[in-house]
């Protein structure tokens, strides 16, 4: 069998002849990207072999992709090229699963500390020969007499530690109590024990380590979800499981390994050991929820999308293969087949079920979750927006890593572009920009940049309300480039927004907006009347970086006063931390989600009509009264084309 080595990681091994490079990378733990799940569509799995003879011959799939988007000389598609002989393969930076720039802020206002586990310092009396009391008896009695805490037993981990903990001459130790059990014991006085809250997103995993005694966040970290190598979107991963026996175990192992790595990093940053972690709270969408628990996710990939359970689970960390010997995992409850524990955490964070006025919560991601409600009723739905908002499926899209364009402005007269990239505070037309970015590879546009550039193209008249790139503007600017029967717009160097890119954004935003309109209808909300929603909150790592003006320009959310559209950061992560620090918060969340009415958009007869109307910018039917007060929108002519207007204010931040 041939031996294969991947550079620059140095990972390698022996694989059966005929194995695809992508499968070999998966088997060997190499971070080789694949957005399309190995279908030869995305081109993210490109590699450069050291020898042309080591891989199978160039094939029709590669030719078809190369015609659409020419590859660099010597590159091969890892999903179709097969290993025939010993090979050394270089994985270029753009094909690696990059660690993201995790910028998830938390709002922990009014958290009341009420953790599930507490620590107690004990002094035991000296042992006397002939005394029949066991160590368990002594600890249980000391807790009752010294602290008034009634427990019934020591769990196995604590039993394994209790003799060592109290072996000193002083016979003093610290024990941790969860419920009616002692779960850990340490020699001497231990003041601080910790917990970890993790938001398992389909793209990124973000965690926060907290002091359970004070509620202080001691460290935060994040990383890419390694399941991306099995498919960018959730349905691709479910398809992988369906087509590959044992695929569900592969996905479970991948995410659990990532969790262990994240836990290790959080503990190192806070200078503690994993043995001091006593609680772990996990939230995620239903498919992530099932996969991390080792539950087959395939029923969630087909109607009627039935959950194995919607209830919260509390289990030892060992059952999740997490290297925290004393920890218990609290897996938050789901709401329905496509509305998961992450949405439950968003509800806990933003509290619509306690609000006197109606809220709209939108967690924008690969699968957008929407909640509309107040303290009397709440409705929830999911919209299959796909990964376009996060840069996937776009010709120049990429994740939010250093060098990605994140902000864009287009001059209404000249159509010149100025932009900002992650990792540099300067705009592209500022002095010193080239020097400041010389070590950054400006290789694509991330989600927030995609939203801004498409909205700016509409405001500048480069695209009309139906999303058509106006080829007639090529006479005004060389940035308008013909591509066959359509046109594209050059943003920076050779990075262009194509007609297909605009369509992908239209499809994603139409799915999201249609879901919102349907929830409004179920909640009895008039989008344009006196009982409309004027409290719109955008959540999630991506949602937290959307400029509210551009969200309204694209029609992502219904028209309302701009100042009443706001980003709330990583609300799912904030909710997870709340659940970590408070048992009462967990119960509040569990009660709240049981009362949420789930709206299945796939079965709604009005969904298609709402979807079609939402394809237009901002919307084919809904007025944009509030938006028009701050932005001059292009006017529609009788023929349906738009004339560019001029914005009434300048937004530089």
For range 204-228, the mean pLDDT: 88
Residue 112 lies in a domain: no
3-state helix, strand, coil in the chain (%, to 5): 35, 25, 45
Can you give the residue range of the structural domain that contains 149?
117-187
Q: Are residues 297 and 350 in the same domain?
A: no
Which of 134, 153, 187 is the last residue before a domain boundary? 187
- Contact of 51 with 408, CB cutoff 8 Å: no
Q: Are residues 212 and 122 in the same domain?
A: no
What is the Cα–Cα distance from 429 to 20, expressed in whole angstroms?
Answer: 45
Residue 102 lies in a domain: no
| Helix/strand/coil for 158 | helix
Residue 111 lies in a domain: no
Q: Is the pLDDT of residue 295 over 80?
A: yes
pLDDT: which is higher, 340 or 9: 340
Looking only at the bridges linking them, the beta strands covering 597-598 and 378-383 are parallel
Name 429's Cβ contacts closer than 8 Å, sequence gap at least 6: 418
Q: Are residues 608 and 548 in the same domain?
A: yes
Give strand ranges (E) for 71-137. 76-77, 87-90, 117-123
DSSP secondary-structure letter at 56? Answer: P
Name 77's bridge partners.
46
- Contact of 544 with 568, CB cutoff 8 Å: yes
What is the Cα–Cα distance from 46 to 81, expressed in whole angstroms?
Answer: 10
Looking only at the bridges linking them, the beta strands covering 46-49 and 76-77 are antiparallel
CATH number at residue 142: 3.10.20
CATH number at residue 91: 3.10.20.30
pLDDT at 392: 64
Residue 109 lies in a domain: no
Give strand ranges (E) for 167-299. 172-178, 181-187, 194-200, 204-211, 217-224, 277-284
Residue 106 lies in a domain: no
Q: What is the pLDDT of residues 348-364, one digit of tens each?
A: 999 999 999 999 999 88
What strands lie across the sheet with 181-187, from one edge to the other? Answer: 117-123, 172-178, 181-187, 153-154
What is the Cα–Cα distance from 387 to 373, expressed in whole angstroms?
Answer: 27
Q: Give, to the nearest 10 degrees, the angle between helix 499-523 and helix 607-614.
A: 130
Which of 95, 130, 161 is the last residue before a domain boundary? 95
Token couple for 311: 């209830």
Q: Are residues 384 and 309 in the same domain?
A: no
Quickly state the pLDDT bin for 35 (edges 50, 70, 90).
low
Q: Are residues 528 and 562 in the same domain?
A: yes
What is the Cα–Cα distance from 332 to 310, expressed in whole angstroms?
Answer: 9
Cα dihedral across residues 16, 20, 26, 29: positive or negative: positive
Q: Are residues 201 and 172 in the same domain?
A: no
Which of 95, 127, 158 is the last residue before a domain boundary? 95
Q: What is the pLDDT of residues 46-59, one digit of tens each?
A: 999 988 889 999 99
Q: Are residues 43 and 169 in the same domain?
A: no
Provide the domain count of the chain.
4
Residue with tokens 């500022």: 430
Q: What is the pLDDT of residues 642-653, one digit of tens each?
A: 544 443 333 444
Q: Is the pLDDT of residue 280 over 90?
A: yes
Q: Nearest 5°: CA angle at 544, between 554 and 565?
A: 55
| Helix/strand/coil for 262 | helix
What is the Cα–Cα distance from 320 to 281, expressed in whole angstroms?
Answer: 12
Q: Are residues 250 and 281 in the same domain?
A: yes
Of 220-234, 478-492, 496-510, the one with minimum mean pLDDT is 220-234
Q: What is the pLDDT of residues 599-626, one digit of tens each?
A: 888 788 898 999 999 999 999 998 888 9
Q: Are residues 327 and 343 in the same domain?
A: no
Q: Cis check for the bond before 304: say yes or no (omega within 30 of 0).
A: yes
Q: Is the pLDDT of residue 274 over 50?
A: yes
Q: Are residues 546 and 511 in the same domain?
A: yes
Q: Are residues 233 and 127 in the same domain?
A: no
Q: What is the pLDDT of residues 123-170, one digit of tens each?
A: 888 777 667 788 899 999 989 988 888 999 999 999 999 999 998 777
Q: What percent of the chain has pLDDT over 90?
A: 54
Residue 104 lies in a domain: no
Residue 648 lies in a domain: yes
pLDDT at 636: 65
Token couple for 351: 């509290």
Residue 101 lies in a domain: no
pLDDT at 98: 44
CATH number at residue 279: 3.30.420.480
Give backbone dihedrals phi and psi of 127, rounded to 5 degrees, phi first.
-75, 145
pLDDT at 459: 95
Q: Are residues 315 and 422 in the same domain?
A: no
């Amino acid at each position: 069998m041939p031996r294969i080595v991947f550079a620059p990681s140095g990972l390698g091994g022996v694989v059966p002849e005929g194995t695809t490079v992508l499968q070999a990378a998966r088997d060997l733990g190499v971070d080789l990207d694949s957005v399309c799940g190995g279908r030869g569509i995305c081109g993210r799995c490109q590699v450069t072999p050291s020898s042309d003879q080591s891989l199978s011959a160039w094939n029709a799939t590669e030719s078809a992709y190369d015609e659409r988007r020419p590859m660099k000389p010597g590159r091969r598609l890892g999903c179709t090229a097969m290993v025939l002989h010993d090979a050394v393969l270089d994985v270029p930076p753009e094909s690696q699963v990059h660690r993201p720039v995790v910028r998830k802020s938390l709002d922990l206002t009014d958290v009341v500390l009420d953790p599930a586990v507490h620590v107690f310092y004990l002094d035991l009396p000296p042992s006397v020969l002939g005394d029949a009391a066991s160590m368990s008896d002594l600890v249980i009695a000391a807790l009752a007499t010294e602290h008034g805490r009634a427990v019934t037993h020591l769990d196995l981990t604590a039993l394994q530690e209790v003799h060592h903990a109290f072996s000193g001459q002083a016979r003093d130790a610290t024990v941790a109590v969860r419920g009616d059990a002692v779960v850990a014991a340490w020699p001497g006085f231990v003041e601080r024990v910790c917990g970890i809250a993790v938001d398992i997103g389909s793209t990124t995993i973000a965690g926060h380590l907290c002091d359970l005694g004070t509620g202080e966040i001691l460290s935060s970290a994040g990383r890419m979800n390694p399941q991306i190598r099995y498919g960018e979107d959730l349905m691709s991963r479910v398809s992988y499981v369906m087509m590959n026996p044992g695929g569900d175990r592969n996905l479970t192992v991948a995410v659990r390994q990532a969790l262990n790595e994240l836990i290790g990093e959080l503990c190192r940053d806070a200078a503690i050991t994993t043995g001091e972690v006593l609680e772990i709270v996990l939230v995620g969408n239903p498919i992530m929820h099932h996969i991390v628990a080792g539950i087959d996710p395939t029923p969630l990939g087909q109607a009627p999308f039935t959950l194995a359970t919607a209830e919260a689970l509390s289990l030892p960390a060992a059952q999740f293969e997490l290297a925290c010997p004393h920890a218990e995992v609290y897996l938050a409850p789901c709401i329905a087949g496509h509305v998961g524990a992450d949405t439950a955490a968003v509800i806990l964070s933003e509290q619509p079920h306690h609000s006197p006025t109606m809220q709209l919560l939108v967690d924008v991601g690969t699968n957008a979750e929407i909640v509309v409600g107040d303290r009397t009723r709440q409705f929830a739905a999911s919209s299959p927006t796909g990964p376009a908002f996060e840069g996937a499926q776009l010709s120049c899209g990429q994740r939010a890593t250093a060098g990605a364009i994140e902000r864009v402005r287009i001059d209404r007269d000249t159509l010149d572009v100025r932009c900002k990239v992650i990792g540099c505070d300067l705009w592209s037309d500022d002095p010193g920009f080239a020097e400041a970015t010389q070590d950054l590879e400006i290789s694509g546009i991330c989600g927030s940049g995609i939203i801004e550039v498409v909205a700016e193209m509409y405001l500048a008249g480069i695209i009309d309300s139906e999303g058509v790139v106006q080829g007639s503007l090529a006479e005004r600017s060389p940035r308008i480039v013909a591509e066959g029967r359509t046109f594209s717009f050059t943003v920076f160097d050779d990075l262009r927004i194509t007609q297909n890119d605009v369509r992908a954004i239209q499809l994603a935003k139409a799915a999201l907006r249609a879901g919102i309109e349907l929830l409004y209808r179920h909640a009895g909300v008039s989008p344009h009347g006196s009982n409309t929603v004027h409290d719109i909150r955008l959540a999630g790592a991506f949602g937290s970086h959307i400029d509210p003006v551009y969200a309204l320009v694209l029609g992502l959310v219904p028209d309302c006063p701009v100042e009443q559209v706001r980003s709330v950061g990583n609300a799912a992560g904030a909710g997870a931390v709340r659940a970590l620090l408070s048992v009462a918060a967990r119960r509040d969340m569990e009660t709240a989600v049981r009362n949420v009415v789930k709206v299945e958009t796939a079965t709604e007869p009005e969904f298609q009509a709402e979807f079609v109307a939402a394809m237009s910018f901002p919307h084919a039917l809904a007025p944009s009264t509030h938006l028009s007060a701050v932005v001059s929108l292009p006017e529609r002519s009788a023929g349906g084309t738009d004339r560019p207007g001029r914005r009434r204010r300048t937004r530089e931040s």
